[in-house]
């Protein structure tokens, strides 16, 4: 597999200010999938499934109160123009992959396969992560300088409450997925190894 990564963590972007979990109660937010939807319900919001290109228009019409997103999405789909309040608590990521058809790959010359193998996998994924992280940081800094954009960065106590509120969503996923326990344990190990520099 040439590339396997995720987006930057999504956060909450709304028309009206959100300063705590209770402020999310009843808000109609665009959710990008069942896990995001379950997370929003746990937080008290109402998840709405909708193609991302339609989100800004539906926020401007009052059909949606906001959306979870990261900066690339916010700017590419002009959500930034209508949802100017940003509650900076993490609400998951979206997995991304670059795949190669095995039959097509096997049909390439040995030289071509070698080049792809040399620059794919973990090396390509780490490069993507470095570039993507830098872009997100730059876009955050640009947005923070705009007078009409308002930010709330939750305290450690608020983030702990956020994690506690979302923990049942993870537990439910683990129960329902046939390999849930194994996958969660593998993820935690990878994170621990990465954070320890291994």
Work out the mean pLDDT of the chain and round it to a whole number.
Answer: 94
Q: Is the pTM of this model over 0.75?
A: yes
Of the chain, the percentage scoring pLDDT greater than 90 comes to 84
Across 95-115, average pLDDT: 92
66-75, 171-180, 186-195: least confidently modelled range: 186-195
Q: Does the pLDDT at position 1 exceed 70?
A: no
Q: Which of 26, 16, 140, 17 is nearest to 72 (CA)?
A: 140
**What pLDDT, on the 0 to 100 scale, is given for residue 194?**
83
DSSP H helices in the chain: 34-42, 55-60, 71-76, 102-106, 110-119, 122-144, 156-176, 180-195
Residue 153 CA to residue 131 CA, distance in Å, equals: 24
- Summarize the confidence of residues 71-94 as an average pLDDT: 96
Domains and CATH numbers, the chain: 3-154 (3.40.190.170), 157-198 (no CATH)
Q: Based on the number of CB atoms within 10 Å of its own CB, is 2 exposed (0-12), middle (13-18) or buried (19 or more)?
A: middle
The band of 195, judged by pLDDT with boundaries at 50, 70 and 90, is confident
In sequence order, what are the beta bridge partners of 140? none
2, 100 Cβ separation under 8 angstroms: yes
pLDDT of residue 68: 97
pLDDT at site 78: 97
| Diameter over CA atoms, the chain | 58
How far the first Cα of the chain sits from its last, in Å, is 22
pLDDT digits (tens, 9 = 90+) for 126-165: 899 999 999 999 999 999 999 999 999 999 999 999 999 9
Residue 58, Cα to own-chain centre: how many angstroms? 21
Q: What is the structure's pLDDT at 197?
A: 80
């Amino acid at each position: 597999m040439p590339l396997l990564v995720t987006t930057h963590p999504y956060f909450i972007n709304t028309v009206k200010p959100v300063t705590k979990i209770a402020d999310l109660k009843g808000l109609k937010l665009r959710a990008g999938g069942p896990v995001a939807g379950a997370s929003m319900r746990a937080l008290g919001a109402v998840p709405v499934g909708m193609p991302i290109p339609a989100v800004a228009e539906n926020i401007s019409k009052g059909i949606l109160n906001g959306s979870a997103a990261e900066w690339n999405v916010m700017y590419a789909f002009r959500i930034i123009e209508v949802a100017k309040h940003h509650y900076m608590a993490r609400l998951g990521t979206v997995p991304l992959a670059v795949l190669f058809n095995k039959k097509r790959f096997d049909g390439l010359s040995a030289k071509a396969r070698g080049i792809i193998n040399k620059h794919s996998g973990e090396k390509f994924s780490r490069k993507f992560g470095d570039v993507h992280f830098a872009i997100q940081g730059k876009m955050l800094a640009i947005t923070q300088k705009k007078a009409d954009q308002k930010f709330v960065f939750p305290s450690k106590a608020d983030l702990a409450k956020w994690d506690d509120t979302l923990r049942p969503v993870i537990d439910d996923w683990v129960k329902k997925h046939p390999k849930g326990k194994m996958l969660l344990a593998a993820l935690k190990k990878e994170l621990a190894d990465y954070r320890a520099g291994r």
